[in-house]
Amino acid sequence: MERKEIIERLKEGSPEELFKEADRVRKTYLDDEVHIRGIIEFSNYCCRSCLYCGLRRENENIRRYRMLPDEIIKLANEITQCGVKTIVLQSGDDFGFSQKVLCRIIEKIKEENPEIAITLSIGERPLDDYKAFKDVGADRYLLKHETANLKLYERFHPGQTLKRRLQILEYLKKLDYQIGAGNIVGLPNQTLEDLADDILLMKRLDVDMAGIGPFISQKDTPLRNHPSGNLDLTLKVLALTRIVTKYTHLPATTALSTLNPTYGQVLAFRSGANVIMPDFTPEEERKNYIIYDNKTRVDLEKAKTIILEAGRKISTARGDSLKWKRHQKAFASI
Ligand code: SAM
């Protein structure tokens, strides 16, 4: 799909046809199964200053926490015992967790649960950290590009550049990670052209997964007065990403559920999504992982209910990227 057509479709007044088309593409390239990824938000320390995020280092109104390595490993084991085959380890960009400690955590989780996949979502680190994490068993890396608009990127991420973000994603791909990018829909001054560029960027990066969620304001950030993103527009971006990128794993994000607790994620499943990420972070820590306000709690039971409500099946597989699997096979046969 050309940029011009993507922009036209983002403007569509009644997007029902678009959502149905995305659902058909999802069914053609994937199947009816929804993959469950269990997320542990193990630290809310962050050295970055993203203007929209409640974890930004300037925010003094949240109580900072770090889970202990043994707590993280124990929780990962419990998640696995619930039948969940992917553990997502997420945190702020926290260098309080050294390469060595993170490697030990990954290694231990993999040692005790060799059948599961580990996704890391821990931000920008020195390149040799990514290599070390892969060497001890990390499988996937989620690093949203947030916005493909250079100027907006630099405005919302003081001290960071889009160029670096994309270099890291390319490097992760070289290391054979399954990679995830993704954007925020509804940032101040973001245009439909910017959203089309987000979709085309994800296509160009040939991502294995993409997190697409609305902006939601957080009261202790500089964007506190900016209205939250629009549900329909976010679903349109999701649907178009499905149509343009075909096989990509697309979560029905918790941010969509926060925007519309009753239907947000069910609608996402009807518009191209095939993944959900229930939150396993212990209550004490979760209440301080305030990236945005009024974050909905989607636990495993709720995630399963939503999948069934959307008329879909619960996957019992690891849910690796099909693109990545084909790539592996091609190399194995040489
Ligand atoms: N530090 C890691 C990183 O930067 O990739 C992962 C943690 S970060 C909190 C995870 C994601 O939260 C970001 O990629 C961003 O898209 C999202 N996020 C943060 N604040 C948000 C907000 N106010 N509205 C919507 N999404 C937000």
Residue pLDDT, tens place only, 129-177: 999 999 999 999 999 999 999 999 999 999 999 999 999 999 999 999 9
Distance from residue 332's CA to the centre of ligand 1 (Å): 36
**What was the pLDDT predicted at 3?**
98
**What was the pLDDT predicted at 72?**
98
pTM for the structure as a whole: 0.97
Nearest atom in ligand 1 to the alpha carbon of residue 46 is: 1
Residue 33 has pLDDT above 80, yes or no: yes
**How confident is residue 332, by pLDDT bands cut at 50, 70 and 90?**
confident
Nearest atom in ligand 1 to the alpha carbon of residue 94 is: 1
Residue 333 has pLDDT above 90, yes or no: no
Which residue owns the Cα nearest ligand 1 atom 12? 291
196-243 residue pLDDT tens: 999 999 999 999 999 999 999 999 999 999 999 999 999 999 999 999
- Rounded to an integer, the average pLDDT of 17-26 is 98
Distance from residue 17's CA to the centre of ligand 1 (Å): 30
**How confident is residue 74, by pLDDT bands cut at 50, 70 and 90?**
very high
**What was the pLDDT predicted at 238?**
98
Torsion of CA 242, 248, 252, 255, to 10 degrees: -100
What is the rounded distance in angstroms from the CA atom of residue 139 to the CA atom of residue 198?
Answer: 24
Residue 331 has pLDDT above 90, yes or no: no
Q: Which of 48, 130, 184 to mutate to test the pocket of ligand 1 (most atoms within 8 A of CB)?
A: 184
Distance from residue 267's CA to the centre of ligand 1 (Å): 22
Q: Which of 45, 53, 258 to mutate to test the pocket of ligand 1 (most atoms within 8 A of CB)?
A: 53
**What was the pLDDT predicted at 327?**
75
Nearest atom in ligand 1 to the alpha carbon of residue 54 is: 20
**What was the pLDDT predicted at 231?**
97
Distance from residue 65's CA to the centre of ligand 1 (Å): 17
In the chain, the domains with their CATH numbers are 3-332 (3.20.20.70)
**What was the pLDDT predicted at 79?**
98
**What was the pLDDT predicted at 323?**
80
- Rounded to an integer, the average pLDDT of 250-260 is 96
Distance from residue 246's CA to the centre of ligand 1 (Å): 24
Which residue owns the Cα nearest ligand 1 atom 3? 123
**What was the pLDDT predicted at 13?**
84
Nearest atom in ligand 1 to the alpha carbon of residue 146 is: 16
**What was the pLDDT predicted at 39?**
98
Distance from residue 291's CA to the centre of ligand 1 (Å): 6
Distance from residue 53's CA to the centre of ligand 1 (Å): 6
Distance from residue 90's CA to the centre of ligand 1 (Å): 10
Distance from residue 328's CA to the centre of ligand 1 (Å): 30
Q: Which of 146, 291, 295 to mutate to test the pocket of ligand 1 (most atoms within 8 A of CB)?
A: 291
- In the 3-class helix/strand/coil scheme, how is the chain assigned residue by residue? CCHHHHHHHHHCCCCHHHHHHHHHHHHHHCCCEEEEEEEEEEECCCCCCCCCCCCCCCCCCCCCCECCHHHHHHHHHHHHHCCCCEEEEEECCCCCCCHHHHHHHHHHHHHHCCCCEEEEECCCCCHHHHHHHHHCCCCEEECCCECCCHHHHHHHCCCCCHHHHHHHHHHHHHCCCEEEEEEEECCCCCCHHHHHHHHHHHHHHCCCEEEEEECCCCCCCCCCCCCCCCHHHHHHHHHHHHHHHCCCECECCHHHHHHCCCCHHHHHHCCCCCEECCECCCHHHHCCCCCCCCCCCCCHHHHHHHHHHCCCEECCCCCCCHHHHHHHHHHHCC
Q: How many CB atoms lie within 10 A of CB 158?
A: 12
**What was the pLDDT predicted at 329?**
75
Tokens of 113: 């649960």
- Rounded to an integer, the average pLDDT of 17-29 is 97
- Rounded to an integer, the average pLDDT of 123-128 is 98
**What was the pLDDT predicted at 107?**
98
Which amino acid does the sequence have at 231?
A: L
**What was the pLDDT predicted at 5?**
97
**What was the pLDDT predicted at 326?**
74
Mean of the per-residue pLDDT values for the chain? 97
Give the residues surrounding ligand 1 with Cβ less than 6 Å away.
Answer: 52-53, 55, 90, 92-93, 121-123, 143-144, 146, 184, 213, 215-216, 218, 255, 291-292
